Chain A
Amino acid sequence: MARPSPARESTASASTGWRIAQVAIVLSLVGLFAWLASNTAQNLHSRGIMVGFDFLWRGARFPIAESLLPYDPTDSFGWAFVVGLGNTLYITLLVIVLSTALGVVVGVARRSSHPFASGLSAVFVDTCRNMPIVVQLLFWYAVVAFGLPDTDHASHPLPGVWFTDRGLYFPRLHLDGPLLPGVFVLVVGLGWAWTVRRRDQRRRTETGRSPHAGRKIVAGTLVAAVLVAATTGLRPSLEYATLGRFNYMGGVTLTPEFVAILVGLTVYSTAFAAEIIRGGLDAVPRGQWEAARAIGLSEHQTLRLIVLPQAMRLIIPPMTSQYINIMKNSTLALVVGYPELNFITATTINQTGQALEGVGILMAIFLAISLGASWLMNLYNQKLGLVTR
């Protein structure tokens, strides 16, 4: 006799015991939050703190040592938050670019057959990955602030460059005169090169011949842009840092805090990026290299046309989470005193007592960035993921 197939267990009618447990969990969570909220309200009341975001429009009246965006102590707390976020994003983007470029170098070096290159990069990666980033940041800060000579004995490695314990000084490039003609030539020329390149690529897939007209146009454009800029009166000049009464002035100054956070985060992130890239390259089967060579591609072509496109699929997802980690690690700039978002929030809370609001803003910003980034990543993965047949 045929029996009916077992009824599918639906969660709704799972069991009364489970139902009761569910209700109990919800009730206890709600109770916990209510208890915490009532405590908070009582504490705020007894400390005489009014909840609200009005303070954001009041004058901040604390200095910010350095910032990408213009800031003055007479600006509002709200603007101070924006300035802090600006610094956080600035450091994050710089480190992302630098660590990706260096990570490729170190990752490829680690796979090379050259004993010095692979040995050095292995030592570098293992050392940097196994020490806390805070220790490394403080180490680099100590190297700049205590290891470098004072202003009177500044080290002078290149013309126009001075290293002192107050910071690193580089020449600043000034462009005087009309900028537009040169830029115009550059944009038009590069645009033209791009369309030609598209056409050539199409032609190559059709005929198999590969003309390189695009490259010639790029080279010509660069020469033409420089010539046009020079004839229309654009004059580049370098502004050097000069020794003032107490300190070097002018030029581009990198403070010890900025150098420490930039070098420390870049070194740490490079080690992780290198491992991700090495992992991606290792995962492409050897047969792919051998097959590409067998059909006559050069080493360079094999890497660019065969191996990298396959490795990228494995590299990009962990690289995105690595980029989010860089953003999260940039908050550690606080320990060397670089004014990023956490630093500004802490100062604001100290001055106004608006702890809930400050923490709320901090959480909202970080969650928006990291959840937004992982959402974008998911979209990208769905679009470019491996199409399996």
Chain B
Amino acid sequence: MMPVEAFLRQDAEAVRPAPALVKRGWRKLLFGDVASSLLTVLISLCALWAVPRVLDWAVFDAVWRGNGQACFDAGACWAFLGAKWPLILFGIYPPDQQWRPIVVVLAFLAITLWSLPERNWTRATATGWLVVIVSSLLLMGGDTLGLQPVPTGDWGGLPITILLTVLSLTIGFPFGILLALGRRSEDRMMRWLSVGFIEIVRGLPLLTMLFIAAILLPLMLPDGVTFDNLSRALVALTFYSAAYLAEVIRGGLQSLPKGQEEAARALGLGRLATLRFIILPQAIHAVIPPLTNTVVVVVKNTSLVLVVGLFDLLSAGRSALTDPDWPSPYIETYILVGFVYFVICFGISRYSLWLEHKLSAGVQR
């Protein structure tokens, strides 16, 4: 029998260099095999066909300045946007008072930017939001501040989009927390009420809800009590926000280990104190990235209020198109409106991604 040592190696394997990182060059990526070559050719052909046409329309044949006459039988009518942007961004708000919606938009922009870094998530910032919201409403309305009163029917454009988003989210948030807690409650009645509300609201298209709010609210309130269009739309949007926020917050509550609650109770904290100091802060912190995604959904949804006759950014753009002096450049107007929405929504979703990265880095210690 051969000794075992005969099978065993005595020398270590020679150190080999790590395999070279396969770095594929552009040529390899574009024409590496038949499939990618075909794809390259196909996409290039499409681009060769489409890009000159789009450029002709958008740049070379476009009308950059001038009046409506120049825009007939030409490419894109960017001059229209140059002439009408105040109407598109601020609706039919009285032109001499337009500094007010501008201040409102800037105030919201400033407080949003201030709130982005995590170190500014303080009580003072929350109070700041409340101050901005209330003073925006007062400034837009005007009569309490001794300015020229402007009824909500004349508000329009970007301020309406921002106000509907912010108001429906801030009013919907506490209700969302209550609904989420109710859905997880051991109490059967609470659970059924919450589940019923959440599922009904989530099962209906928002358009249908706006429509119901517009038709049923006047019918269900006593004679003489009237709601303006803004409040009706706000009711529907707030229901919607509350139901969707509730589901996000429920996710946060589910992610908390049960030991957190038990430990708090063992320390002698009451039910309410446990919720307020232990459960909710952690649950909400855990779902901040999905919450910002809900904000994107709500921003996009505010564009639906056009069906109940509110002049948000989109409908303000459409009303600008009715000017008979211009050849109704619909496509250009929708591009501008879409671009404004895109900047807001893309910004928020990028922020959400960044936040997710940052917050998860903090947890994995």
Residues 55 to 77 of chain B near chain A (Cβ within 8 Å): none
Stretch at the interface among A65-73, A123-131, A234-242, A309-317: A123-131
Contact with B along A222-264 (1 / 0, CB 8 A): 0000000000000000000000000000000000000000000
Given known A-B contacts A44-B219, A139-B334, A366-B204, A134 and B306 have beta carbons under 8 A apart: yes
Residues 170 to 209 of chain B near chain A (Cβ within 8 Å): 186-187, 189-190, 193, 199-200, 202-208
What are the residues of chain B within 8 A of A142 when measuring CB–CB? 330-331, 334
Whether B222 lies near A114 (C-beta < 8 A) is no
Whether B208 lies near A11 (C-beta < 8 A) is no
A213 on the B face (CB < 8 A) = no
Once the chains are docked, how many angstroms separate the CA of A159 from the CA of B136?
59
Q: Residue A363 contacts which of B204, B223, B304 (CB distance < 8 angstroms)? A: B204
Whether A117 lies near B43 (C-beta < 8 A) is yes
Residues 279 to 335 of chain A near chain B (Cβ within 8 Å): 327-329, 331-332, 334-335
Whether B204 lies near A116 (C-beta < 8 A) is no
Residues 293 to 327 of chain B near chain A (Cβ within 8 Å): 296, 299-301, 303-304, 306-307, 314, 318
Whether B223 lies near A46 (C-beta < 8 A) is yes
Given known A-B contacts A130-B346, A359-B212, A371 and B199 have beta carbons under 8 A apart: yes
Stretch at the interface among B106-114, B125-133, B141-149, B335-343: B335-343
Once the chains are docked, how many angstroms separate the CA of A132 from the CA of B330?
16
Whether B222 lies near A11 (C-beta < 8 A) is no
Stretch at the interface among A34-42, A96-104, A203-211: A34-42
Whether B30 lies near A115 (C-beta < 8 A) is yes
Contact with B along A331-346 (1 / 0, CB 8 A): 1101100000010011
Contact with B along A77-115 (1 / 0, CB 8 A): 000000000000000000000000000000000000111
Q: Distance (Å) between the CB of B198 and the closest chain A CB? A: 12
Once the chains are docked, how many angstroms separate the CA of A132 from the CA of B328?
21
Whether B342 lies near A131 (C-beta < 8 A) is yes
Whether A132 lies near B341 (C-beta < 8 A) is yes
B39 on the A face (CB < 8 A) = yes
| B contact residues, total (Cβ < 8 Å) | 55
What are the residues of chain B within 8 A of A138 when measuring CB–CB? 314, 318, 330, 334
What are the residues of chain A within 8 A of B223 when measuring CB–CB? 42-43, 46
Residues 341 to 356 of chain B near chain A (Cβ within 8 Å): 341-342, 345-346, 349
Given known A-B contacts A132-B300, A366-B203, A22 and B40 have beta carbons under 8 A apart: no
In this complex, the member of B26, B187, B208, B223 whose beta carbon has the largest number of chain A beta carbons within 10 angstroms is B208
In this complex, the member of A40, A114, A355 whose beta carbon has the largest number of chain B beta carbons within 10 angstroms is A114
What are the residues of chain B within 8 A of A358 when measuring CB–CB? 215
A53 on the B face (CB < 8 A) = no
A356 on the B face (CB < 8 A) = yes
What are the residues of chain A within 8 A of B314 when measuring CB–CB? 132, 134-135, 138
Whether B221 lies near A39 (C-beta < 8 A) is yes
Residue of B nearest to A135 (CB): B338
Q: Residue B36 contacts which of A114, A327, A332, A334 (CB distance < 8 angstroms)? A: A114
Q: Binding site of A, secondary structure by majority: helix, strand, loop or mixed?
A: helix
A63 on the B face (CB < 8 A) = no
B216 on the A face (CB < 8 A) = yes
B14 on the A face (CB < 8 A) = no
Write 25 A-B pairs (CB below 8 A) sorted by A numbering: A26-B189, A29-B193, A39-B220, A42-B223, A113-B29, A116-B40, A117-B39, A131-B300, A132-B314, A134-B314, A139-B334, A139-B335, A143-B331, A146-B330, A331-B207, A332-B207, A342-B205, A342-B208, A345-B211, A358-B215, A359-B211, A359-B215, A362-B212, A367-B204, A370-B203
Chain B positions near chain A (C-beta within 8 angstroms): 24, 26, 29-30, 36, 39-40, 43-44, 186-187, 189-190, 193, 199-200, 202-208, 211-212, 215-216, 218-223, 296, 299-301, 303-304, 306-307, 314, 318, 328, 330-331, 334-335, 337-338, 341-342, 345-346, 349
Chain A positions near chain B (C-beta within 8 angstroms): 11, 22, 26, 29, 36-37, 39-40, 42-44, 46, 113-117, 120, 126-127, 129-136, 138-139, 142-143, 146-147, 327-329, 331-332, 334-335, 342, 345-346, 349, 355-356, 358-359, 362-363, 366-367, 370-371
